[in-house]
Amino acid sequence: MTYNEQRAARAKGLRQSVFAPAATAVFFGVSGASLMVPSAALAQSYNFSSVQIVGTEKIEAATILAYLGFGKNETVSAAQLNDAYQRLQGSGLFDTVRLQPSGRTLVVRVQEQAFISRINIEGNRREDDEDLIAIIQSRPRQVFSPAVAERDAQVIAEYYAQKGRLAADVTPRIIRRTNGRVDLVFEVIEGRVSEIERLSFSGNRSFADSRLRRVLTSKQAGLLRAFVQSDTYDPGRIEFDKQVLTDFYNSRGFVDFRAEAVAAEAGSSRDGYQVTFKITEGQQFSVGQVNTISEVDGVDTAEFERAARLRQGGVYNPSDVDNAIARMERLAAQKGLNFITVEPRIVRNEREGTLDVTLAITRGPRVIVERIDIEGNQTTLDRVVRSEFRTVEGDPFNPREIRRAAERIRALGYFANVDVQAREGSASDRVVVDVDVEEQGTGSLSFGASYSTASGFGLNASFSESNFLGRGQYITAEFNWGVAVRNYSFSFAEPRLLGRDLELGINAFYYDTLASANANYDTTRLLVEPYLEFPISPSSRVAVKAGVRGSNIANVDPASSAVLMAEAGRGWQIGGHAGLTYTFDSAISGLDDMSRFFLEIDTEVGGLGADNQYLKATALARAQTRIMNDEVTLRAEVEGGALYSIGGAGARVTDRFTLGPEKVRGFRFNGTGPRDLTVANTDALGGNYFVAARVEAQFPLGLPEEYGISGGVFADVGSLWGLDNTLGGTIDDAFYLRSSVGASLFWDTPIGPLRFNYSIPVVKQGYDREGRFEVTIQTQF
């Protein structure tokens, strides 16, 4: 007997045991009503001069008379009498109802339903009473219903099942009180958490078990089982993982992939499961010939072929074909070609292992979108959901675009569930799009402590809300108070200004550093920067920014460089700035891209109105790919920057670049670059130019995947050089390379992915300050 069958059997037994008296009473009430009207008198009519009501305690007599539907001295047929009985019985107010004609008197005998006086939950240690009572339908001061109570017990059991306690058992009981009241008690046996003890695969030839386990959202129980929710056995999550595996294989050319999940209980207590995914990979296909044809007169296929950007030879990925179709249909819309659809026609070449793709431009059915109905959004405004549609009322209906809109709504992260369906509208050529969403929490408040070699110990607090007031706006505030660093920041963004893909935001921070082992002076920086960001292509965006930036240098140690003394003597410098930021991201919609490229170029003119006027430019390029059947991830980064003083007394140390562990690992913050060696403090002065390159590989260590631990190796190289003031050449600001190699340990933890680096500087200067070990929060892109 399966688990669901066992639960159904227990539910059936519950109905037969706990609520049997009520069910029996209702049965005999029906039988009694039929006995009160003999079959020979079914056609007889009645005329009652009075109605006698027996058995009421809380229900008013007028209520019963209203349900009867007839008054005194009215002629009533047997059928009408039966209808009156059905109305009384169906009111839900009575356990039993009997109608007994006695001469010209109608005797109505009822037994009232009990009212719930209070609801108690017993046996629940892991969950609060308030949380469980909130999800059930029964409420105090309502009529008690055995069927509703039974459904509530099932709801509570399902709630526990979602938390991984599949063995939880809930039994409703009643305690009868006076005056027709009852206490409703749910007796809970929580049971143990049902964990996934083992995730395994059969039939996988191209990818190892370890690689496939990293794809799944379900995880094996490991060292952190007390903190990790994804290692609990959840049938819904297992079904989702089947789709995740399908997407993973499809994106790598396995178009015939099939997966079937089989779960087996490890013990009679149902607290451990072994899950096996039976896999049929099929053949891997690459893209064969690619052709574009048109079945619509007057369409230039060459232009659409260029827009598709689908090339022969690569691994076949359905997402690439979908994106090609999206670009072609977008081009058709720009040209005013309505009701144009692009139909992919695939020809399989089993022997060559290729799929020939023909993109056919066709005239689709003339169906328009009549309206878009949105339901379930209690907080989120309709316009936030509607803005993810590229289709509006009156536009041609495109099922593919509706599916993409549903994906964009899910990607917002505002909703636990999103269901988008199309149905026929007021006419056969009209469609209504129904959007049903279920909202989830979008805010977070956190408090914590931190430690770093640069700033020492500190306390921090942060607040963020990604759907502020249901408007889809993002707001965050962070407070960090440390021994050497104090940082306060605020950000706000409206991502859909005027309903368009325009992001209007503002960033502000106040950053205070105190003299420490890294610097023998205090600094203060502040920034207020509004910006406007917009797309210039499907993969590129530009942000225009302008604002106010300020800085101050104070409490310079007397044993520090004369350069710092002079720069500190200029006091506060507050000036305007303006700039542009260009970003390119090759990432596309999909589960797990094989490769990705990211580029960011930032330019700024600053110090306007102050005496530290400058031009500043930085560039960063990142690339990532996977090799060895996705077991090894390779990453490479190159970045550089330049600062030019264009007026006033020149840039200060607060404006110049630094070269620390974020650019070349193995060196401390302010550990490299031009340094005044003629003074006791040998202060790092920063530099006007920098360049850095980093390469690394991340790979499994052979440990169980549930530990979430992998290893890596890396090599970094970079340099920081150039000063406006070298004190007559006594400061060496020449170009000197620094390099390092090292190893990393990556650990996925409940607080985030941690990274432990151990670095060995290889090329360095004698005055550099090393920092061989560091712990960071691993960032991904």
Average pLDDT over residues 60-87: 86
Q: How confident is the model at residue 265 (pLDDT cuts 50, 70, 90)?
A: low
pLDDT of residue 236: 78
Digit-coded pLDDT (tens) for 405-426: 998 999 898 998 999 999 999 8
Question: Residue 295 gets which letter from DSSP?
Answer: S
pLDDT at 264: 64
Where along the chain do its domains lie? Answer: 20-112, 118-189, 195-280, 286-363, 371-439, 532-546+557-777
Greatest Cα pair distance, the chain, in angstroms, is 125
**CA distance readout (Å), 680 to 195, 675, 676, 702, 768:** 61, 11, 9, 50, 15
**Average per-residue pLDDT for the chain:** 84
Residue among 582, 500, 504 at smallest CA distance from 539? 582
* pLDDT grade for 230, boundaries at 50, 70 and 90: low
Residue 455 has pLDDT above 70, yes or no: no
Q: Dihedral sign, CA of 747, 753, 757, 763? A: positive
Q: Note the pLDDT of residue 478.
A: 93
Q: What is the pLDDT of residues 428-447, one digit of tens each?
A: 889 999 999 999 989 888 88
Same fold, 118-189 and 286-363: yes
What backbone torsions phi and psi does residue 742 show, to the nearest 5 degrees?
A: -175, 180
pLDDT for 7 = 40
| pLDDT interval class at 592 (50, 70, 90) | very low
pLDDT confidence bin for 488, thresholds 50/70/90: very high
User: What is the per-residue pLDDT across 119-150, written as a single tens digit (0 to 9) for each?
Assistant: 999 988 888 888 898 899 899 988 888 889 99
The architecture in CATH of the region 286-363 reads Roll (3.10)
d(CA 676, CA 682) in angstroms, rounded, equals: 5
- pLDDT bracket for residue 778 (50, 70, 90): low
Q: Is the pLDDT of residue 722 over 80?
A: yes
623 bridge partner residues:
597, 636
Confidence of residue 211 (pLDDT cuts 50, 70, 90): confident
Strands 181-189, 115-122: pairing kind: parallel
Average pLDDT of span 196-201: 83
Mean pLDDT of 163-189: 85
Class of the domain covering 195-280: alpha beta
Q: Check whether 1 has a pLDDT greater than 70.
A: no
pTM as predicted: 0.70
Q: What pLDDT band is residue 27 in, cutting at 50, 70 and 90?
A: very low
* pLDDT over 90 percentage in the chain: 40
40 DSSP 8-state letter = G
* Contact in structure between 505 and 493 (CB atoms under 8 Å): yes
Please report which confidence band the pLDDT of residue 498 belongs to, taking 50, 70 and 90 as the band edges.
confident
For 692-711, the three-class secondary structure string (H helix, E strand, C coil) is EEEEEEEEECCCCHHHCEEE
On whether the CB atoms of residues 393 and 382 are closer than 8 A, the answer is no
CB neighbourhood size of 642 (10 A)? 15
CATH topology for 532-546+557-777?
A: Porin (2.40.160)
Q: In the structure encoding, which two tokens stand for residue 272, read together?
A: 């451990």
Of residues 749 and 635, the one with the higher pLDDT is 635
In the prediction, which pLDDT does 30 show? 34
pLDDT exceeds 60 at position 37: no
CATH of span 118-189: 3.10.20.310
| pLDDT of 476 over the 80 cut | yes
pLDDT grade for 11, boundaries at 50, 70 and 90: very low
In words, the CATH class of domain 371-439 is: alpha beta
Helix (H) or strand (E) segment spanning residue 10: helix 3-17
State residue 220's pLDDT score: 75
Instruction: For 551-572, give one letter per residue: b (16+ CB within 10 A) or e.
Output: bbbeebbeebbebbebbbebee
Q: DSSP characters for 640-665?
A: EEEEEEEEET---TTTSB--STTTST
What does the pLDDT average to over 467-494?
A: 91
Q: What is the pLDDT of residues 311-334, one digit of tens each?
A: 888 899 998 898 899 889 888 888
Our measurement of the distance from residue 68's CA atom to the centroid of its chain's CA atoms, rounded to an integer in Å, reads: 55
Quick one: which of 51, 73, 75 has its CA closest to 62? Answer: 51
Q: Spelled out in words, what is the top-level CATH class assigned to the domain 20-112?
A: alpha beta
**pLDDT band for position 738 (50/70/90)?**
very high
In terms of DSSP H, where are the helices of 708-779? Answer: none
What is the structure's pLDDT at 208? 86
How high is the pLDDT of residue 40? 44
* Alpha-carbon span 677 to 588, nearest angstrom: 50
